[in-house]
């Protein structure tokens, strides 16, 4: 299915810490409420949070799950973008 003007749920790739290594950014730690999903554009494994899953369920085909890299690319192609944070970050960290 094409992305078109569907809402984008930008999700962090599972290798986000490797991508940010040496940048000084703190490690990304998904919570136990996060689940694995797949970027619908490039096939990268991503972490999808509970509120993103809820938005996906509410919007159905009106939403697309993308890794952050693809989400930025699609927004660039559209020439416009609205970024919103769905909240969260209050769950228990996932143990390695």
Residue 57 CA to residue 49 CA, distance in Å, equals 12
Whether the model clears a pTM of 0.85, i.e. scores above it, the answer is no
Q: Where would I find the H helices in 28-95?
A: 50-59, 68-78
What does the pLDDT look like over 25-69, one tens digit per residue?
999 889 899 999 999 999 999 999 999 999 999 999 999 999 999
Residue 23: predicted pLDDT: 93
> Which residues in 69-93 are b (16+ Cβ under 10 Å) and which e?
ebbeebbeeeeeeeeeeeeeeeeee
- What does pLDDT average to over the chain? 87
Task: Note whether 28 and 54 are within 8 A (CB).
Answer: no
Residue 1: predicted pLDDT: 58
* Residue 71 pLDDT grade (very low, low, confident, very high; cuts 50, 70, 90): very high
Backbone φ/ψ region at 24: left (φ over 0), alpha (ψ -120 to 50), beta: left
């Amino acid at each position: 299915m094409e992305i078109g003007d569907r809402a984008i749920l930008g999700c962090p790739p599972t290798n986000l810490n490797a991508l940010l290594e040496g940048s000084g950014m703190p490690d990304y730690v998904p919570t136990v409420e996060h689940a694995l999903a797949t970027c619908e554009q490039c096939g990268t494994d991503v972490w999808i949070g509970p509120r993103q899953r809820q938005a996906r369920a509410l919007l159905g085909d009106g939403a697309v799950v993308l890794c952050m890299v693809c989400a930025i690319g699609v927004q660039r192609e559209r020439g416009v973008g609205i970024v919103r944070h769905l909240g969260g970050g209050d769950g228990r960290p996932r143990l390695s």
